[in-house]
A and B are shown apart, each in its own frame.
Chain A
Amino acid sequence: MTEGKIDLQKRNSAIGEELIRVEHLKKHFGKLEVLKDVNQVIRRGQKVVLLGPSGSGKTTFLRCLNLLEQPTGGKIWFEGNEITAPDCDIDKVRARMCMVFQQFNLFPHLSIRKNITLAPVKLKLKSQAEADADAERLLGRVGLLEKIDAYPRQLSGGQQQRIAIVRALAMNPDVMLFDEPTSALDPEMVGEVLSVMVELAREGMTMVVVTHEIGFAREVADHVVFMDDGYIVEEGTPDEVLRDPKQARTQDFLRKVLK
């Protein structure tokens, strides 16, 4: 959080062309309208942090981006292709925007190595040898190389979540989606996961992060989005939204989280 100013400029200059476009996104579950009209453009290299009270639709929005939830209205484009179109090959798209879940969702029957290499190998993006080498390199970076032959159950939550990040990274995605990646962790493990994410951000990964970690948002985000009741209520730079929010609902929310 110290080198904020200089870093911010560097990050802004790295932001490139449009990667994801969301227009008039709507989603309802039966009668419950969760997303009412959400619009958003995410550019390459951008770090977007989504904030909002519980039940405001953050998870649903994130899951609509890779169509884990089928939107009931509106359109989404990824790299210029409309992924909400009926003929879109969603598996191809998902391989380019990987997701990190609140509950890690590692595959319990597979070793860490297999957890990381399964998808790239089965999708023929890499040979097993290449995938193994990548897995080792990435695990080394998050400090878990010695766990490569362990099984998920043998690891702590923080370790599992770092592995889940590596598993997503191994796909060389264009964008990574994080849904409250630290919410299921014991407090002492939050830091190790956040620092991996901060490093990812430094390297220029495009990230969309749902989190309640305001500190992370301040340090990493270049765009903060505040959602409430199925709409984006307020958005802007961290300074604009976090330090000087215009909307009463944002102020209210921040007061509660920062307390």
Chain B
Amino acid sequence: MDKWFQQMQAEFRLCFIDKDRWRLLLTGLGNTMVISLFAVLIGILIAVVVSLVRSRWDTTHERMRPGPGKAIFAFFDRLCRLYITVIRGTPTVIQLMIMYYVIFTSTKNGVLVAIVSFGINSGAYVAEIIRGGIMSIEKGQMEAGRSLGLNYHQTMWYIIAPQVLKAILPALANEFIVLLKETSISGYVAVMDLTYAGNRIRGATYSAFMPLIAVAIIYLVVVVGLTKLVGRLERRLRQSDGR
């Protein structure tokens, strides 16, 4: 037992202390967080636009007068559907590699490419979450808003959106957590994320246990922390409507 403990200590020193290898993990964690955070922001931005187009088309196209306006609207709806189909139908790692090796060939900034790629990826999933949220709000809410003279956008903003946000917050948080873990493929485009950092240490030290367990624990801590944060936010939102 004593011997095992000593061996562990030695490995710990080798993997994290020697040559300041812990810095690799820190850089990796930083990149993982930056990529996830900005990707989620881009994703939400795309998702809001896409879900608004999709849900508005779904609820109003039957009543629209035929004409160029409807044709343009129909085109954008198709485009949004295509986007969602393609993104959900192909592996994320392939999207990332296409982004890096085919589309953004001129830049060597892997972090930026990863942000864009994961953002576009996440947008498709979040769009469907938001659309589901909008659909889950009773038709009567939109009608009540409109019947008071508010226009479509005012009703969306003041009445539908707050309710949607509350309804989808758990799913949104879940998506962020999934995304955070998905960024672990960033190494495919030479980005030093947390996973890649752990793997580098493993390669350099020929010791797999320490770096991989460490990486797993760091992911776990971040995810659990995020989950707690969201839980608190949800409770606050719930209080505000007197449940």
Chief secondary structure at chain B's binding surface:
helix
Interface size on A, residues (CB 8 A): 29
Residues 148-165 (chain A) with a chain B CB within 8 angstroms: 150-151, 153-154
A119 within 8 A of B: yes
Question: With A109-B241, A151-B241, A171-B148 as given contacts, are A118 and B158 in contact (CB-CB < 8 Å)?
Answer: yes
A43 within 8 A of B: no
Chain B interface residues toward A at CB < 8 A: 63, 65, 138, 140-141, 143-151, 154, 158-159, 162-163, 166, 240-243
Considering the complex, give the chain B residue whose CB is closest to the CB of A114: B158
Residue pair B163, A108 in contact (C-beta under 8 Å): yes
Chain A min CB distance to B227 (Å) = 24
Chain A interface residues toward B at CB < 8 A: 66, 68, 70, 86, 91-92, 94-96, 98-99, 101, 103, 105-109, 118-119, 122-123, 150-151, 153-154, 167-168, 171
Picked from B65, B141, B147, B150, the residue with its CB within 8 Å of the CB of A68 is B147
Complex A-B: 9 CB contacts under 8 Å: A91-B149, A91-B150, A107-B141, A107-B145, A108-B163, A118-B148, A118-B159, A119-B150, A171-B149
Which residues of A are found within 8 Å of B149, using beta-carbon distances? 91-92, 94-96, 119, 123, 171
Q: How far is the CA of A70 from the CA of B146 in the complex (A)?
A: 14
Question: With A94-B148, A119-B148, A122-B150 as given contacts, are A101 and B143 in contact (CB-CB < 8 Å)?
Answer: yes
Picked from B141, B147, B150, B243, the residue with its CB within 8 Å of the CB of A123 is B150
Q: How far is the CA of A122 from the CA of B144 in the complex (A)?
A: 15
Chain A min CB distance to B66 (Å) = 13
Residue among B138, B141, B148, B159 with the highest chain A CB neighbour number at 10 A: B148
